[in-house]
Chain A
Amino acid sequence: EAGVAQSPRYKIIEKRQSVAFWCNPISGHATLYWYQQILGQGPKLLIQFQNNGVVDDSQLPKDRFSAERLKGVDSTLKIQPAKLEDSAVYLCASSLNRAGFSGNTIYFGEGSWLTVV
């Protein structure tokens, strides 16, 4: 079974530029998450989708970050304009259904490493 796919793996941009990350979850997984992991810290949830609807985006900096999952499968996370503090790994994850229902396991991709200079 294919895992969670993410691209690009690495990206270096200058501050104020824009960047987009793509995620393809495990086939059949209804729930999709984007996490931000700053070096030396644990991942922090940015946004959670259930199919193509947003469940939680309370920690997403909406003035510069946006995310969509138009057809309930692939998702894109965009940052515009980027700031130095956005340098982090952006992890996409998916689960069959919501993790709070019977503790569905959340599977993670390898992440997209962003450096803003």
Chain B
Amino acid sequence: AQKVTQAQTEISVVEKEDVTLDCVYETRDTTYYLFWYKQPPSGELVFLIRRNSFDEQNEISGRYSWNFQKSTSSFNFTITASQVVDSAVYFCALVRGSGGGADGLTFGKGTHLIIQP
């Protein structure tokens, strides 16, 4: 069985601070994919990044960066110089590499990020 844990239920920081959202996952599959999604109040889940289990390179996209460490089964997300528009619920998710079975996303419970002006 797969599991994704986002231990931080809510984080509140002041604008321009850096913030890291933690994600720890469990899976028995050797091939899998990790995702981060952003959910603003409108409800739509917005895709941020996809990472496969064989690529442990960190990735940076503007103010966003991701740190993937298989040794600790973690896929953490950092926002640098946070802005009020970053306020949302962020979800980490996992999908198994398809061997013919079901491959829907398994989500964590989400971290509600509040950026105060």
Contact = CB atoms under 8 A, between A and B. Distances in A.
Contact of A58 (B50, B102, B108): B102
Given A99-B33, A106-B47, A56 B95 contact: no
Contacts of B96: 100
B60 interface: no
Nearest to B49: A105
B43 A106 contact: no
A99 to B, nearest CB: 5
Nearest to A100: B98
Nearest to B98: A100
A54 B21 CA distance: 34
B13 to A, nearest CB: 21
B43 A111 contact: yes
Contacts of B102: 45, 48, 55-56, 58
B112 to A, nearest CB: 9
B47 A42 contact: no
Contacts, number: 78
Interface range, A side: 20 to 34
Interface in A98-117: 98-103, 105-111, 113
A106 B105 CA distance: 9
Interface residues of B, number: 29
B11 interface: no
Contacts of A103: 33, 50, 52, 95, 97
Interface string B73-117: 000000000000000000101011111011111111110000000
Interface string A75-117: 0000000000000010101000011111101111111010000
A110 B43 contact: yes
A42 B107 contact: yes
Interface of A: 33, 35, 40-45, 48, 55-56, 58, 89, 91, 93, 98-103, 105-111, 113
Interface of B: 4, 33, 35, 37, 42-47, 50, 52, 91, 93, 95-99, 101-110
Closest 10 CB pairs of A and B: A100-B98, A56-B102, A42-B107, A100-B103, A103-B33, A45-B104, A108-B45, A110-B44, A111-B43, A99-B95
